[in-house]
Amino acid sequence: MSEKIVDVAAGLILRPDGMLLLGQRPEGKPWAGWWELPGGKLEPGETVLEALARELQEEIGIRVTQSRPWVTYVHAYPHTTVRLAFCHVTGWEGEPRGLENQRLEWVSPANAASVGDLLPATLPPLRWLQLPTAYGISGIGSRAGVPAFLARLDAALARGLKLVQLREPQWPDGVGASSLHEVLHSVLKRCRAAGARVLINSAHPAAWWKEADGVHLRSADAARLTARPALPAGALVGVSAHDNAEVVHARELGADFAVLGPVLETESHPGAPTLGWEGFVAGNRDAGIPVYALGGQSSSTLSTALRHGAHGIAGIRGLL
């Protein structure tokens, strides 16, 4: 692996209809003919967003009016190592055109490979785009709370929630455990009808993880692992983290995403220490995977979370 790391800003230019812009590398460049996200190298003194704006104007002739940081990811090619700062570009002026004789195509992120060979470092962000920006976490407590929870879940699914975690560490053992398994089946039925996915917190039996759409590992459970849990193809693995080291460990495990917090104070833990948004940014540094902000989050904090590099928000009260 090369010792020198090349810093690159890469833009996910997404139209309102969800189509993503890809460019084909022109003749004479390494990996000519392969498809990639538009962008380029940072120049000395530039921030990531400054470099991205300059590169997109030079490369495809658009003027960026709105962009935000997302995931920073290191990829080792045979002859160079690149640190890719992937950013969302949500506002621009002008129509993209290939100013370096490169072809451009608008593609569906889920079917991007239809244009041809994709650069290896382009594959992870296409996968991450499949993750929604809201992640709801259950807080039922006991059997008595089930009807009200299912009503809240139905309402959240109707609003468009697409990712749910069943997390009930306080649920009573014994007969209670079997009743929670019944709740899982009710949650799965509702979520699948709405096109939403369900993860099981690692506090609950591993056999349940495969019944659902994957597992969400508590930070202590993740710390005991050295590899991704064995799950069916397409299953998701999320990890709870409280600092940058735990986020990095989640990436090393091959997790699909991490949840970092608490960012803001919550009703359930008033006065408890929080990261704040600066602490979230520090914890999310070079994450290499999408990271959700947890703690005091709701639809009203989503834009703030995105601006600070979060993939989205996770929460109990604010989302479910």
pLDDT in tens, 191-210: 999 999 999 999 999 999 99
Start-to-end Cα distance in the chain: 45
Instruction: Report pLDDT for 272.
Output: 86
Residues 138 and 215 in one domain: yes
4 compared with 55, residue with greater pLDDT: 55
Domain annotation covers residue 320: no
Which residues contact residue 160 at a Cβ distance below 8 angstroms, ignoring those fewer than 6 apart? Answer: 134
- The whole domain housing 222 covers 134-315
Per-residue tokens: 171: 């649920």
pLDDT over 50 (residue 174): yes
Residues 35 and 100 in one domain: yes
Residues 307-316: tens digit of each pLDDT = 999 999 999 9
Residues 144 and 222 in one domain: yes
Instruction: Report pLDDT for 177.
Output: 65
Domain annotation covers residue 222: yes
Residues 123-140: tens digit of each pLDDT = 999 999 999 999 999 999
Given a contact cutoff of 8 angstroms between Cβ atoms, the answer to whether 14 and 48 are in contact is no
Residues 160 and 200 in one domain: yes
CATH number at residue 67: 3.90.79.10
Domain annotation covers residue 105: yes
Residues 149 and 222 in one domain: yes
Instruction: Report pLDDT for 77.
Output: 87
Of the candidates 191, 153, 155, 131, the residue with the CA atom closest to the CA atom of residue 312 = 131
Residues 33-64: tens digit of each pLDDT = 999 999 999 999 999 999 999 999 999 999 99
Of 64, 96, 128, which residue is a domain's last? 128
CATH number at residue 213: 3.20.20.70
In the numeric block, the tokens 């950013």 are attached to 87
Of 74, 108, 128, which residue is a domain's last? 128
269 compared with 116, residue with greater pLDDT: 116
Residue 32 burial (CB < 10 Å; 0-12/13-18/19+)? exposed
Average pLDDT score over the chain: 94
Of 104, 128, 152, which residue is a domain's last? 128
- CA 284 to CA 258: how far, in whole Å? 9
Which residues contact residue 155 at a Cβ distance below 8 angstroms, ignoring those fewer than 6 apart? Answer: none
Residues 134-159: tens digit of each pLDDT = 999 999 999 999 999 999 999 999 99
Under the banding of pLDDT at 50, 70 and 90, the label for residue 2 is very low
Residues 66 and 158 in one domain: no
Residues 233 and 275 in one domain: yes
Residues 200 and 311 in one domain: yes
Residues 180 and 118 in one domain: no
Instruction: Report pLDDT for 197.
Output: 98
